[in-house]
Amino acid sequence: MNIRLPIIFILLFLSQSIKGSEHLMIWVNFTDKDESPYSLSRPHEFLSERALERRLKQSIPLDDYDLPVSPTYLQTLSDQASIEVFYSSRWFNGALLRIDDETILDILHQYPFILSFENVKPLPEEKTEEKLEEVGGMQDLINYDHSQTDFFEFVQNSLFYINQSYPEYGSAFNQVNLVNGQELHKRGYWGHGKVIALLDAGYTAVDTLAAFNYLWNQNRILGYRDFVNPVGNIFSSHPHGTYVLSVMGGYLPGDFAGAALGASYWLLRTEDASSEFRIEEYNWLVGAEFADSVGADIINSSLGYTTFDNPLQDYTYADLDGETTIVAMAANKAFSRGILVVNSAGNYGNRPWGYIGSPADAFGTLSVGGTNNKGERVNFSSFGPSYDGRIKPDIMAQAQGVSVANLIGTTGNANGTSFSSPLIAAMSACLWQKFPDFSNQQLRQAIIQSSDRFLYPDTLYGFGIPNFGLAVEILKGPKVDPRMITLLSNPLTYNSALRIYANHPEVISIDFINSSGNIMWTEQNIEIFPGYNEVRPFGDIESLASGIYIVRVRFNNRAEHVKAIKL
């Protein structure tokens, strides 16, 4: 299948010949975007209609980050005989260069439009056995145990409709049931109209396996790109993305069904499974930009970055603050463009690193840890918090014994948070189909709020296992006066919560007032989102005397009160 897009979506230059087996991969940062023919007044020249519709629906304005890199700068570099421009980044205003002559590095300093540059794929250095244990974002295990289970019947009519009661998913039932995903499916929501971009290591045999015939026959594979090797074949590169895709879109009649069979997919290869260098973070960046440009709604990334083949590139835990790593900055930028970014937390839980990887630490990422089929955390699931103290992972889903389509045409069991992440991405597409006018931020918040540990999150489970049936009710809004606030767990404990419904994003303050009218303390600058919010402002309650108190919630243009009891 030959998919072509206008060059305006991403500038990708390929050379016809390679001048030697040794080369450097250099990332260059440009000083500006001058000498560019592009303008924010003509966004159709660099963003698809679907991308612009997503931005318009979520009231996200265009800005200079959307403008492509100056083609003059790229052409000037590509005119140099020993330089090949692989790709460029709108968001980072830079480009990846392949250099076959090391002396060219001295010339780069002479270009006035180059701010800085770095070698992003240096030669590896020897690592200890312990260090090697930590390297790589894909430590998932595949077990090809075939299982026989009846599958539900459906009618093909763009959407899927299933028999009354509840659907039978074959071997994939438990992973969907654990997050109550069938509540969306049985109403006909399978992600129709939503586009999911996969960022992964490869998609071996997706073009030939029967499990993906349905996607091809329904034209739900929109296209594919290889940012690791632009002239390579993603269908013979690595099977990791094959298994990930099957969780969302695989279908074997009578045996297995993915959770978002109505969605459409872009297959993007950003990970080089043969090595681990920071170049893969830049691949992730341009993969996410490509997803933005073609109008993807959701990115699933079952990848994570912590340490590398060259220790000089390694991150420390202090770097996982949500905004420092290359890939975290890229994930945040994707989220700011209205994309829901779902990422595996990582499989470091029983390894020396332990913590989540990046971009699971990013502010804009919905990071997913892993449980067994009973909802109990598995020991390999990476834990939090992020270095700056935020709850991570955000949520959990099944990561042990996950049913996937394998390479021999049947099903198998897979272990790893790589497979909990696509389940959440798939169900998010189904939820977004039902609520198409909601933003990615509202969707993310509802999924988190629906989770079973929302009131008492921790650094192992995050906010817990989401309940997509409950997420539906949260996004529907209350059946009573939406201004009402509710105090949970009264009499008060340090963990009591206020449930607050909001029609739009707002910053509130909460006053705790005694029976004499004195304000005992005030919590300020609390950000709430459309839908239900639950906040816990009572951490110091044990220091106060017993009695009756008033909790006052101050909104932008009103205040509401609720009575509280301290025993």
Flag whether 14 is in a domain.
no
User: Who contacts 131 (Cβ-Cβ below 8 Å, separation ≥6)?
Assistant: 307, 311
For residue range 193-240, list pLDDT tens digits in order: 999 999 999 999 999 999 999 999 999 999 999 999 999 999 999 999
Amino acid at the residue 490: N
Same domain, 426 and 556: no
Same domain, 457 and 493: no
Flag whether 10 is in a domain.
no
Same domain, 499 and 537: yes
Flag whether 12 is in a domain.
no
Same domain, 243 and 327: yes
Specify the CATH number for the domain of residue 68.
3.30.70
For residue range 517-567, list pLDDT tens digits in order: 889 889 999 988 877 788 888 888 888 888 899 999 998 888 888 888 888
Sign of the torsion formed by the C-alpha atoms of 322, 323, 324 and 329 = positive
Flag whether 264 is in a domain.
yes
For residue range 27-50, list pLDDT tens digits in order: 999 999 998 899 999 999 999 999
CA distances to 164, 407, 517 from 171, rounded to whole Å, are 20, 16, 60
Same domain, 273 and 370: yes
Last residue within a domain, chosen from 475, 491, 507: 475
* Per-residue pLDDT at 126: 56
Flag whether 124 is in a domain.
no
Specify the CATH number for the domain of residue 511.
2.60.40.3080
Q: Summarize the confidence of residues 110-124 as an average pLDDT.
A: 93
Same domain, 394 and 300: yes
Identify the band that residue 8 occupies on the pLDDT scale cut at 50, 70 and 90. Answer: very low
Q: Where are the alpha helices (DSSP H) in 68-212?
A: 71-78, 104-108, 129-134, 173-178, 182-185
**Cis status, amide bond into 385, omega within 30 of 0:** yes
Flag whether 8 is in a domain.
no
DSSP per-residue letters across 99-122: ES-TTHHHHHTT-TTEEEEEESSP
Flag whether 286 is in a domain.
yes
Same domain, 161 and 145: yes
Q: What's the predicted TM-score (pTM) here?
A: 0.80
Q: Summarize the confidence of residues 334-350 as an average pLDDT.
A: 97
Flag whether 526 is in a domain.
yes
For residue range 238-248, list pLDDT tens digits in order: 999 999 999 99
φ, ψ of residue 199 to 5 degrees: the values are -110, 115
Same domain, 439 and 562: no
* Tally of domains in the chain: 3
Q: What is the spatial order of strands in the sheet that 24-30 belongs to?
A: 83-89, 94-99, 24-30, 114-119
Please give the angle made by the CA atoms of 297, 5 and 332, to the nearest 5 degrees. 35
Same domain, 270 and 162: yes
Specify the CATH number for the domain of residue 408.
3.40.50.200
**DSSP category for residue 313:** G
Last residue within a domain, chosen from 410, 442, 475: 475
Same domain, 306 and 377: yes
Same domain, 179 and 261: yes
Beta pairing class for 506-513 and 519-528:
antiparallel
Same domain, 532 and 491: yes
What proportion of the chain, given as a percentage, has pLDDT over 70? 87
**DSSP category for residue 264:** E
Is it the case that residue 298 has pLDDT exceeding 60? Answer: yes
Last residue within a domain, chosen from 475, 508, 543: 475
Identify the band that residue 479 occupies on the pLDDT scale cut at 50, 70 and 90. Answer: low
Q: Summarize the confidence of residues 430-449 as an average pLDDT.
A: 96
Output 491 or 400, whichever has higher pLDDT.
Answer: 400
Answer whether 449's CB lies under 8 Å from 457's CB. Answer: no
- Domain range for 561: 479-566
